[in-house]
Amino acid sequence: MTSFSNADYAKRSYGEIPVGYGARPGIVVVDFQKAFTEDRFPLGGAPLIMRGLENTARLLEVARRNNIPVASCYTAYKDEGDMPHWKISAVREQFRHEHPGSELDPAIYDPDYDVKVCKTGPSIFFQTPVVPFFIRQRVDTVIVTGCTTSGCIRASSIDSFQYGFRTIVPEDCVGDHEEQPHLDNLRDISRRYVDQTTSDEVIDYFDRVGRRNA
């Protein structure tokens, strides 16, 4: 099998055209639930995920100040009968309605501002009301934050792209359990579907939007 290097992808025009920012951003916050952010749970407390949580909280403070729509999700099921065929035992056993691991982390969730949805697949957009919500809010640019990069962030980013949104992923607002899958998946989606950036750059963008709409 032929392997492709970064130079090979560049030669074949991958990543040549930036997505860019539009006029009206919205944020999705994917699965920053306690199952991922508290180390008392099997999937909780990974350093990259906690870094993403901290930077996303900072981003959201600026977003709310500038009246930018926020949709935050968690993953949960009634029992194994209504969940997909997950290969992760911690998901099968603990990602349940009413389980404490399904609660959104208070560092990122404002119940008086955010739209909260429960998702059942990897993508925040799969069979949820997030797309109609963003359409009503005239969103054209989606900022993707949350965890995990190689799973639900990748899936949500691809769905955002497929729904026609400009899609931006601030690297320091997403996280995974290991660094290599985090970097590999960001590199891959950045070649095709999204712009990879930083929380500081997105904060500047939010402030520009806020000044324009003031």
Is residue 19 within 8 A of residue 205, CB to CB? The reply is no
List, for residues 161-177, the tens digit of each pLDDT value: 999 999 999 999 999 99
List, for residues 165-212, the tens digit of each pLDDT value: 999 999 999 999 999 999 999 999 999 999 999 999 999 999 999 888
pLDDT of 25 above 90: yes
**pLDDT tier, 1 (very low <50, low <70, confident <90, very high otherwise):** very low
- Neighbour-count burial of 58, counting CB atoms closer than 10 A to its CB (0-12 exposed, 13-18 middle, 19+ buried): middle
According to the model, what pLDDT value does residue 5 have?
66
Rounded Cα distance, 190 and 92, in Å: 31
Is residue 144 within 8 A of residue 194, CB to CB? The reply is yes
List, for residues 45-103, the tens digit of each pLDDT value: 999 999 999 999 999 999 999 999 999 999 999 999 999 999 999 999 999 999 999 99
Rounded Cα distance, 96 and 102, in Å: 7
The pTM of the full predicted model, rounded to 2 decimals, is: 0.96
Rounded Cα distance, 54 and 67, in Å: 20
Strands 25-30 and 115-119: unpaired
Rounded Cα distance, 158 and 144, in Å: 10
How would you write the chain as a 3-class SS string? CCCCCHHHHHHCCCCCCCCCCCCCEEEEEECCEHHHHCCCCCCCCCHHHHHHHHHHHHHHHHHHHCCCCEEEEEECECCHHHCCCCCCHHHHHHCECCCHHHCECCCCCCCCCCEEEEECCCCCCCCCCHHHHHHHCCCCEEEEEEECHHHHHHHHHHHHHHCCCEEEEEHHHEECCCHHHHHHHHHHHHHHCCEEECHHHHHHHHHHHHHHHC
